[in-house]
């Protein structure tokens, strides 16, 4: 559960995320029960009919990366392999993204926490992350996980 300061910080920046997602045919919803949780709907450029649902769980914004999981719908299960896109580093079988941009990735690779792979805390890291997710879907996507 995110602290109150984080919720205020998220409220300051999430409109920019909403605008970016609208430009790419997606949208997000803030979880009713936990305001630090967002549900994103994203579409790959090469398969606009495919919808991917991402659950982002922030605990301390902007200071720590969020948990990032694909779900089978908004508010749905995050333990369904078919909910995941096939993208290098996106591990459907492990239900995680093993890259230096998620809580799961930093949890697995402590060496990423410092230096050029460290989580960015300046500007709007929420938008930074969503831009990377959309970029990966647009450029490195090869279908839906089985």
Binding site for another protein (CB under 8 A): 16, 24, 45, 88-89, 97-101, 105, 115-117, 120, 122-125, 127-128, 131-132, 134-135, 138-139
Complex with another protein: residue 27 or 34, whichever CB lies closer:
27
HSE on the CB side for 44, CA within 13 Å?
A: 17
CB of 9 to another protein, least distance (A): 13
Q: How far is the CB of 113 from another protein (least distance, A)?
A: 13
Residue 23, burial from CB neighbour count under 10 angstroms (0-12, 13-18, 19+): exposed
Give the residue with the Cβ less far from another protein, 1 or 15: 15
**DSSP reduced 3-state for 133:** helix
Nearest CB to another protein, comparing residues 24 and 74: 24
User: What residues contact 21, with CB distance under 8 A and at least 6 apart?
Assistant: 27, 28, 40, 41, 42, 130, 134
């Amino acid at each position: 559960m995110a602290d109150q300061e984080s919720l205020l910080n998220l409220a300051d920046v999430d409109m920019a995320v909403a605008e970016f997602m609208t430009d790419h045919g997606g949208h997000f919803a803030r979880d009713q029960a936990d305001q630090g949780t967002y549900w994103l709907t994203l579409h790959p450029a090469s398969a606009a009919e495919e919808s991917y649902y991402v659950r982002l769980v922030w605990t301390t914004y902007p200071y720590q990366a969020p948990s990032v999981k694909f779900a089978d719908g908004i508010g749905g299960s995050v333990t369904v392999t078919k909910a995941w896109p096939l993208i290098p580093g996106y591990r459907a079988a492990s239900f995680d993204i093993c890259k230096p941009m998620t809580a799961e990735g930093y949890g697995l690779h402590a060496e990423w926490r410092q230096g050029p792979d460290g989580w960015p805390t300046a500007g709007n890291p929420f938008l930074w992350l969503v831009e990377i997710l959309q970029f990966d879907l647009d450029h490195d996507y090869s279908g839906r996980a089985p």
